[in-house]
Amino acid sequence: MSLVVVGSVAYDGIQTPHGRVERTLGGSCTYAAVAASFFTQVGIVAVVGEDFAQEDAVWLASRGVDLEGLERVAGKTFYWSGVYSADMNERTTLCTDLNVFADFQPQLPPAYRRAPYLLLGNIQPGLQRQVRAQMEGVRLVCGDTMNYWITHTREELLETLKEWDVLLINDSEARQLAGRHNLREAARRILGLGPTVLVVKRGEYGAVLFHARGYFVAPGYPLEQVFDPTGAGDCFAGGFLGYLAECGAESGLGELRRAMIYGSVMGSFCCERFGVDRFRKLTRAEIDGRFQEFKDFTEIR
């Protein structure tokens, strides 16, 4: 076990201009773990209900994802549904049924506790902290959060952040957390809160990595077609941390740059089909091919 991923496993109903699915495997933990599974040995910590399909468990296991930390309890699995606007830039949530996720108390199996890498999906900061505390000798902790926690549990979030190496959030969240609109100013403030690395996701425009000595900008991949952007940010996180775990390295700047690109690559593949469908037949050769494309279309000769 190299990387532990904590977050939601859910079923999603998704409607985009390209079609709709009533119920497909989703959730932040699922997306991140599946993306990371192309790079390293992943274990997940999440909760599902009695309706969780055996075929989904089988597929995750076939990807090498360890399910010992996937708790099954009475009730229904987290269900979310939403609809995207014609240009895909707006998303309206139609329904959020937390179901068994409402009482999620993440418990790490003993086999997970000595994993060197931890990815904390966007859950209540107090729970993220409890998970962090269960780890023994973790080498790199990367966490996500969202507007809701920044607004409503700010103090708890700030305490939690102190124990993270990498904060990975989107641009509006970074601005809200720092209280600054300018991204470099916001980054400087956030790097004073604990994390030594800040990754700011900017959707189709890519992502920026900030650290004490500088920054790195990864553009978005110009997709031929954005079929369904659900989960792309979580796949970015999974690709990013999965690659670092594969390197096994301390986070040197070269590795961090490549991790940003692998994150972008996995986020871009995610958008090509509904839910996690693109990952069912994806190969490492395709991943490395797209990594090379990134090198080609960003290189200043």
Q: How far is CA 90 from CA 26, 82, 87, 170, in A?
A: 19, 10, 8, 15
Are 163 and 139 in contact by the 8 Å Cβ rule? The answer is: no
Residue 269: half-sphere exposure toward Cβ, Cα within 13 Å: 31
- Segment contacting its own copies (CB under 8 A): 59-67, 92-100, 109-117, 221-229? 221-229
| 126 touches its own copies by CB under 8 A | no
| 91 touches its own copies by CB under 8 A | no
Structure tokens at 147: 């507007």
- Segment contacting its own copies (CB under 8 A): 33-41, 121-129, 204-212, 266-274? 204-212
Under rule CB under 8 A, how many of the chain's residues touch its own copies? 37
Contacts of 62 (CB under 8 A, 6+ apart): none
Compare residues 126 and 254 and give the one whose CB is closer to its own copies.
254
- Segment contacting its own copies (CB under 8 A): 34-42, 156-164, 209-217, 235-243? 209-217
Provide the pairing of β-strand 166-170 with 197-201.
parallel
| DSSP states of 144-162 | ---HHHHHHSHHHHHHHHT
Give the Cα separation of 240 and 36 in Å (integer).
8
Are 245 and 39 in contact by the 8 Å Cβ rule? The answer is: yes
Site string for its own copies, 240-259 (x = CB under 8 A): -------------xx--xx-
Among 54, 93, 105, 225, binds its own copies (CB under 8 A): 225
> Degrees (nearest 5) of the Cα angle 20, 202, 101?
55
Site string for its own copies, 131-160 (x = CB under 8 A): ------------------------------
| 208 touches its own copies by CB under 8 A | yes
Among 61, 136, 215, 288, binds its own copies (CB under 8 A): 215
Binding interface with its own copies (CB under 8 A): 86-88, 181-185, 202, 205-206, 208, 214-220, 222-226, 253-254, 257-258, 261, 294-301
